[in-house]
Structure 1
Amino acid sequence: MSLLLASAMVLAAPANAASQATPQPTTSAAAMSGPAWRTASHLHRGVNILGYDPIWRVPAKARFKARHFRIIRQGGFDFVRVVLQSFGHMDAQNRLDPQWLRTLDGVVKDATAAGLSVIIDEHDFNLCSAEPDACEPKLIAFWTQIGERYRNAPDTVLFELLNEPHAPLDDARWNAMLRKLIPVVRATNPTRTLVIGPSRWNNLEELPKLELPKDDRNILVTFHSYEPFRFTHQGAPWAHDMVGVKGVPFTAADEARINADYDKVGAWSKANDRPVLMGEFGAYEKSGTPMAARARYTATVRREAEAHGFPWAYWQFDSDFILYDIDRDQWVEPIRQALVPKEG
């Protein structure tokens, strides 16, 4: 199947792709060299997709359709981060379900045909973090199978080894796991760009503790950006101390903190000669937070990320924090325009 998939996955941007100009890397980023830097230079504006769609269990009930890839591309975006909870689709021997794999094949094929780069993101972060020893063989099995299946895919397909590791999957345990995972992928994909982030939920403060092989320069380092958390997650039911929180504003001090945080990331990137991807950001919409405040936050993060040379992926297309209203078949325009301003 992988050979057939590779032959079908020729990157071809549609003739009527979005007219908005895409941001260019900063001078410092452009001056860097190496395969991961080249990959990063082709990624600009992305969106997370499919994490909570019925497509993975009952493809006929999918909310997200193949046509949405073209909508994403025409909307001004050039890559997608495909959010996968694969552990629930493995048998007792950690073999991935064939139907689930065929669905993933179709997602990667259709996204590529629409002119989008694709990050395959293994997103079982809570299961992995709660029980790292039980997670490790599953992650190894996942990347062994995915690595073999996509070994001939174009270089516009990236592998993200695990989303948001966090305690008890701490720095030391995560670094030890990476020393096993990276060789597994490199056995079948020696030239594939990998996406790897630090511990504590891909927290930028943990970047100095991330240990990567010095001779592997095809790694795009990722971090996630949800600060100020009391603003972005007010009312979020999964963040227990935020359930009753509402009315938190987005302030000038918050804007200054975002700039300072990204200065830190940029300095780390330059010092370590590693390109950086901001893999998630967004503000929860179901708490009554005014749209104007959410749009201003979104525009601020997007603007600062681009000013620092970081490609980014908004969280997310559908489900919550939504960018596109599938039920109404239309963009949430204030958020889209905050991400892809008309002036470019």
Structure 2
Amino acid sequence: MTQIFKKTLLTSLVLFLMTACSDDKKELKIIVEPTSFHFEQTGGSRKFGITPNKPATFQSSEAWCKVTSESSTPVQAIYNITVEPNTTPDVRNATITVSVKEHVQEINVEQAAYIQSDEPEKYTVRENLTTHQLINEMGLGINLGNTLDAVGDWIDPSCILNYEQAWGSPVITQEIIEGYAKAGYSSLRIPVSWGNLLSDDFKVHPDLMDRVEKILNWTLDCGMVAIINIHHENEWIKQVPTDSKAKEKFTSIWKQICERFEKYGDHLLFEPMNEIGYDEIWTPWSGSEADKAKALGYVNDLNQLFVDIVRNSGGNNAKRHLLVEIYNTNLEYAYDPLFKMPNDPANRLALTVHYYTPADFAILGGGEVVDWGVGRESWGTEADFKELNDNMDLLKKNCVDKGIPVIVGEYCAESKNRTKEVIRLFCVSVTEAIYSRGMCPMLWDTPGGQYNRQTCQFDDPLFLEEMMAIPVKYPRN
């Protein structure tokens, strides 16, 4: 009796398990979702899931549409659909066939057509372009120095071109600007002293505004990125945080700049001022911590005022990429706790710093004597390279690595009583140190500098050759 019961029980158990397995197999349901996607013309990646997580195969009907694995859990597998940009004038479609065991499911993919815009690229604003990506596009940069920024009471105001030529530059031509681009430079900083011929009610002279726009268009038409600022007007700009008349002047000039250039797109950046500091309040050698907080706070206030003016103006200015300055543009203040990035609803800001270190080489000519030192004739010792790399490492660590894009808006060395070889070594070394750390270097160049505005070429071919080897050595996406 016991043996018969055991056999019966065993038979029942086997039948139950077989039935249960059969039911499990019958109830196994594969869910693929979503099963349709729409992509913009620019392409991109989107995710879909397969539940439960079972081995799957995929077949795409089109080469421009691919599937890759993203992640998985015991419950669900996640995959990416990646679509390339559509360069055709037609909407296009692809079908992805998903096979999981006996289950087959189709995913339908649709992508918008490429529409040729009649709007020139220089007026285009790319919605998803980050400031860091724009910095990458700016590559190697250079300054149109001592030109539109020239000032002096002795300059004949009867013609705006007199200011342009006052500090040794020829009248800027389209060929001069094109020469920068042909040499390989991707960005041009255009310093401007707007106070020249400014009216009593703070209106910029129309001839100056027209001249700046003409040079800007030559720059943008070459495919370069341009920066416009207010230059060489520090004495009154320093008063802006405490003087209502100075604030009115600053606000008026920037409103006029914003209005005139509101139609221009991503390739035009604005920079509020140039090398503003308050030595009369605080220096590293004199003044209290409270004095330092006051001085750096004034620069913070100027940056915030500038951002507010631009963002509250019209056209593309609401999304324009902007530069903000640190105290005196000295790089050590970029990571000083007293420096504050402005509030920006567009989140499109970058820091600009200047690099003239060591001062007895970058600022003073060889053998030049001043009260704080004597100019060196050479540069390039092990200690010199260490100082350079340590400084750039600090900028990268405290700014770039924390998501704050950086432009080094000026750097160069005084050429007086120095060989072209040592000037080349310094400039190329600084450029490489900046560029290799994900920042944009913008060489300070003036009439009689590296670029000959008469021939529209660099006087030292090896200087240009070594400069242009840097982006090749450190490719960017």
Shorter-chain TM range is 0.7 to 0.9
Map 1:80-95 onto structure 2 (within 5 A): 80-95=188-203
Question: 1: CA distance between counterparts of 2:366 and 2:417?
Answer: 11
Q: Which amino acid in the other structure matches residue 250 of structure 1?
A: G
**Cα deviation code 1:317-342 (max 9, x no counterpart):** x325x121224553122432342238
Residue 229 of structure 1 is matched in structure 2 by 359
**Cα deviation code 1:298-335 (max 9, x no counterpart):** 1110111111011111001x325x12122455312243
Question: 2: CA distance between counterparts of 1:175 and 1:63?
Answer: 36
Structure with greater proportional helix content: 1
Unaligned runs of 5+ in 1: 1-6, 13-32
Q: What is the deviation of 1:175?
A: 1.1
Residues 1:313 and 2:421 are matched in the alignment:
no
**Cα deviation code 1:257-296 (max 9, x no counterpart):** 11111111111124542111111110111x2112111111
Question: 1: CA distance between counterparts of 2:160 and 2:364?
Answer: 29
Moved more, 90-99 or 50-59: 50-59
Question: 2: CA distance between counterparts of 1:237 and 1:152?
Answer: 49
Aligned counterpart in structure 1 of residue 264 of structure 2, from 137, 147, 153? 153
Residue 50 of structure 2 is matched in structure 1 by none
- Seen in structure 2, the aligned counterparts of structure 1 residues 337 and 232 have a Cα distance that, compared at 3 Å, is farther
Aligned counterpart in structure 2 of residue 303 of structure 1, from 426, 429, 432? 432
**Cα deviation code 1:113-172 (max 9, x no counterpart):** 111111012113532465443643322111111111111112100001111111158311
**Cα deviation code 1:52-72 (max 9, x no counterpart):** 358944489643211112111
Structure with greater proportional strand content: 2
Question: 2: CA distance between counterparts of 1:263 and 1:56?
Answer: 43
Residue 77 of structure 1 is matched in structure 2 by 185
Aligned counterpart in structure 2 of residue 264 of structure 1, from 377, 381, 394? 394
Question: 2: CA distance between counterparts of 1:272 and 1:59?
Answer: 41
Q: What is the deviation of 1:297?
A: 0.7
Aligned counterpart in structure 2 of residue 196 of structure 1, from 324, 332, 352? 324
Query: The residue matched to 1:87 in structure 2 has which SS?
Result: coil
Report the identity percentage. 18
Map 1:284-299 onto structure 2 (within 5 A): 284-285=414-415, 287-299=416-428
Query: The residue matched to 1:63 in structure 2 has which SS?
Result: coil
Residue 458 of structure 2 is matched in structure 1 by 331
Q: What is the deviation of 1:219?
A: 0.5
Question: 2: CA distance between counterparts of 1:70 and 1:311?
Answer: 20
Moved more, 95-104 or 208-217: 208-217
Moved more, 212-221 or 110-119: 212-221
Q: Which amino acid in the other structure matches residue 185 of structure 2?
A: F
Map 1:1-344 onto structure 2 (within 5 A): 10-11=121-122, 35-52=130-147, 56-58=160-162, 62-128=170-236, 131-132=239-240, 133=243, 135-168=246-279, 170-188=295-313, 189-200=317-328, 202-208=329-335, 209-216=338-345, 217-235=347-365, 240-241=370-371, 245-270=375-400, 272-285=402-415, 287-316=416-445, 318-319=446-447, 322-333=449-460, 334-341=462-469, 344=472
Q: What is the deviation of 1:231?
A: 1.0
Q: Which amino acid in the other structure matches residue 325 of structure 1?
A: N
Moved more, 46-55 or 253-262: 46-55
Length-normalised TM-score, structure 1: 0.82
- Seen in structure 2, the aligned counterparts of structure 1 residues 337 and 167 have a Cα distance that, compared at 3 Å, is farther
Q: What is the deviation of 1:34?
A: 6.4
Q: What is the deviation of 1:178?
A: 2.3
Query: The residue matched to 2:254 in structure 1 has which SS?
Result: helix
Q: What is the deviation of 1:75?
A: 0.2
Q: Is the 8 A contact 1:86 1:124 kept in 2?
A: no
Question: 2: CA distance between counterparts of 1:239 and 1:139?
Answer: 37
- Seen in structure 2, the aligned counterparts of structure 1 residues 115 and 270 have a Cα distance that, compared at 3 Å, is closer
Q: Which amino acid in the other structure matches residue 143 of structure 2?
A: N
Greater relative contact order (Cα 8 A, min sep 6): structure 1 or 2?
A: 1
Root mean square deviation of aligned Cα: 2.9
Question: 1: CA distance between counterparts of 2:309 and 2:459?
Answer: 40
Q: Is the 8 A contact 1:11 1:113 kept in 2?
A: yes
Unaligned runs of 5+ in 2: 1-117, 151-158, 282-294, 473-477
Q: Is the 8 A contact 1:11 1:116 kept in 2?
A: no
Q: Is the 8 A contact 1:231 1:250 kept in 2?
A: no
**Cα deviation code 1:71-96 (max 9, x no counterpart):** 11110101100010111231111100
Query: The residue matched to 1:221 in structure 2 has which SS?
Result: strand
- Seen in structure 2, the aligned counterparts of structure 1 residues 342 and 184 have a Cα distance that, compared at 3 Å, is closer
Residue 17 of structure 1 is matched in structure 2 by none
Moved more, 112-121 or 46-55: 46-55
Question: 2: CA distance between counterparts of 1:90 and 1:240?
Answer: 35
Count of residues in correspondence between the two structures: 314
Question: 1: CA distance between counterparts of 2:231 and 2:366?
Answer: 19
